Amino acid sequence: MDWSEGYGTSTKTLVKENYIHAIAPQEVVALFEVSGNNGAAPYTVAFFDQSFGSVDSLLWNFGDGAASTLANPMHTFELPGEYVVSLTAFGPLNEDTSTATILVEAKAPVITQIVDRPNDQGGYVYVHFKKSFYDQTAPARGTESYTIQRQDEGVWVTVQSSGALNEPAYVVEAATLQDSTANLPGISTFRVIANMNEGTWISEPAQGYSVDNIAPQAPEGMDYLLAENQIEFWWNPSPANDFHYFAIYRSQESGTFPPQPYATLTATAFSDAIAPDEAYFYIVTAFDYAGNESLPSEEISNLDRMDLLLPEGWSGVSAYLQPYDANIENLFAPVAGGLVILSNESGMYWPGQNVNTLINWQTDQGYQIKMAQQSDFTIRGFGLSDRTLTLDAGWTLMPVLSEFNADVAELFATTSLEIVKEVAGYRLYWPQYGINTLGYLTPGKAYQTRMNSPASIVFPEEQMKNGAVNQPEPANIVPWKIMPTAASHAIAFEAVACSNFQPSDMIGVFTPDGLCAGLQQVSSSTLGVVAFANDNLTAGKDGFDQGEPLVFRLFRPETGELFDLEVTYDAKFNTGQFATDGMSVVKTVKLSATKIGSQHQAAISIFPNPTKGSFTISGLTGTFNLQVFNATVLKIKDTAIELPGQVDLSGYANGIYFLRIANGERSWLERVVKE
């Protein structure tokens, strides 16, 4: 046999001839050549044995289940695919195998999968298909293309087309007849037509479906109304075009709801019967026709809601509701990050020290609280059927058992009340001395109350009509920094003691080392001042230590004068040494003038003074806070200023004005006249 006949002489052939002429048996090496390795099904390929060595026999495996022992067989691959063809040569010393890959492509395109287009409202699928064999090169003018058709009631309807670009595979978006739902399969049948220059070939049909997988928007605008044994709530309509219905979920535990709806409806309102003193929680979701469910609405319940603002620092807090969850740690969990300490007369909750002797909230008690930062706080619970509070003789940290302001004078009119004062506040009600800067008790706050004998009070069930008011907190225009704390000492100035005071005078109470720990503005013929204790939870000193003497000073805004006060006390009360819940009564006052300049740490110049409107402040350098007060101590300007700098009061009336200049470390008070 001539091994090189028709194919030319090759290096392998020459080597093989050397083996043939060898006298001794040689190891075999399997080799072969093919007439082609890529074509359209059915594809016929000729195979040519090129093996050498002492070959006794050959075995061909065509990769599609067929085999041959011929030296140079021909084989037809009927179906598209990638076939690995092998030739094994057998000899007396060994056997050897060689392989080659034959790629057989379909003349027609082949749909490999049809998948839903993700994250849409349905109506479309992606049709994936392999190219036609004749999609070999991209024509210069795009004469070859693919057409995607959908079968509609037995009729093939063209829904999309794509250019033929010699890509191995294509993905084309196509519309479906309908979406698949839990009740309707929504299957669509597609085929792909290859429009090639060599002819037209059509794929086998394939099926797929689209799914609406975008849920509707969560219901918004939740609101509700409580009536006896019934709750009614409503919300806004769903804006979704494919909205189907709303689902109502009900639970008796906040935040935990069963998997199945309590009710379904298309309306936007729902009423439900509820048992007395039982908590019910509701959420609403929206469903579309594809079965997609929205996120839940805001949770509502039949519980009353009480919203409080807990200020930074100390304050008093109480509730006119019985909390649904009275556990202290659960109740204050939303503000736990800012809570320093909560206490009442019998215990405390101190998270930072892992102390909790309060355990549960008691509605008939008041609390004092310290916050590291201002926080919104909500209590949810049941309204009180009994608004009566019993007070023992002596001091009580009392709550406010009403959602309405309670006129303090009316509330205690028939009792032996001695005094009521705010927790960490300036206001007092001390009827024996005609002092009432308190006006009314505010819902959500707590107050220190001292009774001479036990009594019961009943809080109002409606808004008061007499118009009692709380006196505003004193405007701090003097260079005295006040830090209210939970414990305090009350001081009453009798009418005789106030005879030397003028309206708008500011009375400050100082520790022996010069710290201002109490401040009040004169507004009537009597005066009540609250002095605050040192807070042991802060690093520095911010109030009185027990037993320290009370020192008084007066600032007169109209003239800018500063006075030291020499006082005498009523011996029946504390005679001027600070005590927590102490009470002092000042009988006489003597004013001793002192220069306001003694408060200054720098020589400040104001020019011109008097002024027509604009003036310059010098003597200080840097950024400062400037507050301007008129003669009635009304703040008219509060701004940052770079000093030296100018201030313009041209738009204000003529008269005396006071300037408070501060930089966070110290402050200065100056007087200017506009004429």
The percent of residues above 90 in pLDDT, for the chain, comes to: 72
| The two three-digit tokens of residue 346, written as one number | 């019998």
CATH C-level class of 600-674: mainly beta
Is pLDDT at 449 greater than 70 in this prediction? yes
The stretch 263-292 carries a mean pLDDT of: 93
Q: Report the DSSP pairing between strands 67-68 and 74-77.
A: unpaired
pLDDT value at position 16? 53
Which residues are CB-neighbours of 22 under 8 A, at least 6 positions away?
Answer: none
Q: Determine the CATH number of domain 223-301.
A: 2.60.40.10
How far is the C-alpha of 248 from the C-alpha of 269, rounded, in Å?
10
- Architecture of the structural domain at 110-208: Sandwich (2.60)
pLDDT for the residue numbered 567:
95
Tell whether domain 11-105 is in CATH 3.20.20.140: no
- The CA distance from 227 to 274, in Å, is 10
The per-residue pLDDT for 205 is 97
Residue 229 binned pLDDT confidence (cut-offs 50, 70, 90): confident
Q: Is the pLDDT of residue 598 over 80?
A: no
Taking 70 as the threshold, does the pLDDT of residue 289 lie above it?
yes
- For residue 357, the number of C-alpha atoms closer than 13 Å in the C-beta half-sphere is 7
Per-chain mean pLDDT for the chain: 90
Mean pLDDT of 609-619: 91
Predicted pLDDT of residue 467: 65
Least confident residue range of 442-446, 463-467, 527-531, 539-543: 463-467
Backbone angle region of 635, left / alpha / beta, with phi > 0 → left and psi within -120 to 50 → alpha: beta
Helix (H) or strand (E) holding 199: strand 199-202
Q: In DSSP terms, which residues pair with 82 in a beta bridge?
A: 103
Is there a common fold for 110-208 and 600-674? Answer: yes
Burial 100-121 (b: 16+ CB within 10 A, else e): bebebbbbbbbbeebebbeeeb
pLDDT in tens, 73-132: 999 999 999 999 999 999 999 999 999 999 999 999 999 999 999 988 899 999 999 999
Token pair of 84 as six digits: 């690995």
Is-contact 391 451, C-beta < 8 A? yes
Per-residue pLDDT at 304 exceeds 50: yes
Instruction: Please report the pLDDT score of residue 9 as a whole number.
Output: 41
Mean predicted confidence (pLDDT) in 206-235: 93
Q: What are the tens digits of pLDDT across the range 470-483?
A: 777 766 555 577 88
Question: What is the distance between the alpha carbons of residues 308 and 380, in angstroms, rounded to a whole number?
Answer: 11
The structural domains of the chain, with segments of one domain joined by +, span 11-105, 110-208, 223-301, 488-595, 600-674
Average pLDDT over residues 593-603: 50
What confidence category does residue 6 fall into, taking pLDDT thresholds of 50, 70 and 90? very low
296 pLDDT higher than 90 = yes
d(CA 7, CA 504): 121
212, 219 Cβ separation under 8 angstroms: no
Q: What is the dihedral of CA 132, 135, 141, 143, to 10 degrees?
A: -30
Residue 444 has pLDDT above 80, yes or no: yes
The residue count for the chain: 675
Q: What is the mean pLDDT of residues 183-191?
A: 92
pLDDT (average), residues 514-526 = 90
Give the H or E element holding residue 151. strand 145-152
Peptide bond into 557 cis (omega under 30): no
- Which tokens sit at 163? 């250019």
Tell me, what amino acid is at 251?
Answer: S
Q: Is 425 within 8 Å of 484 (Cβ atoms)?
A: yes
pLDDT in tens, 368-421: 999 999 999 999 998 898 999 999 999 999 999 999 999 999 999 999 999 999
Q: Going by DSSP bridges, is the β-strand pair 223-227/281-288 parallel, antiparallel, or unpaired?
A: unpaired
Distance set, CA 352 to CA 313, 451, 487 (Å): 16, 34, 21
Where helices occur in 223-332 by DSSP H, the ranges are 328-331
